[in-house]
Amino acid sequence: MSVNVALLGAPCEADGHPSECSEPATGTIESTDDALLSIEGTDVASHDTAVQHFPSHAHDYDPDDGCIALQSHDLTPDQEHLLTINGASVMLVEDSTTDPGSGGTAEITDDGGNEILTVE
């Protein structure tokens, strides 16, 4: 079995939003600190330095007003992380948490496109 670790800039998505608006809401893994973990020069999303960032998206729909209750979120996955690289816990593809606005699941959906970061 292999798992993929996520690069900074990798895509993520959150479900549970109105289908008329932004379902699922899309975001990216972003750095929140300069102390980045890197492998062979590629920045990896560390649990200490990166979050799932979701720009403003609708959490409700009104027939008269359209998409309403807009919110932006910065979320850190809340799963237990057993994989470490150089002593740092890393974000794995499919790491998830709960979107506080929708109650849906927010998860990393792709590793960001670098195959050298697949861990066997």
Give dist(CA 51, CA 75) in Å, integer: 5
Give dist(CA 92, CA 95) in Å, integer: 5
* pLDDT tens digits, 16-61: 899 998 889 999 999 887 767 887 788 888 888 888 999 999 999 9
* pLDDT tens digits, 45-102: 888 888 899 999 999 999 999 999 898 989 988 766 668 877 788 888 888 888 887 8
Q: Is the dihedral of CA 5, 118, 8, 99 positive or negative?
A: negative
pTM listed for this prediction: 0.83
Using CA atoms of 32, 100, 106, 35 in order, give the dihedral in degrees to the nearest 10: 10
Contact 97, 81 (CB under 8 A): no
Around Cβ 58, how many Cβ atoms within 10 Å?
21
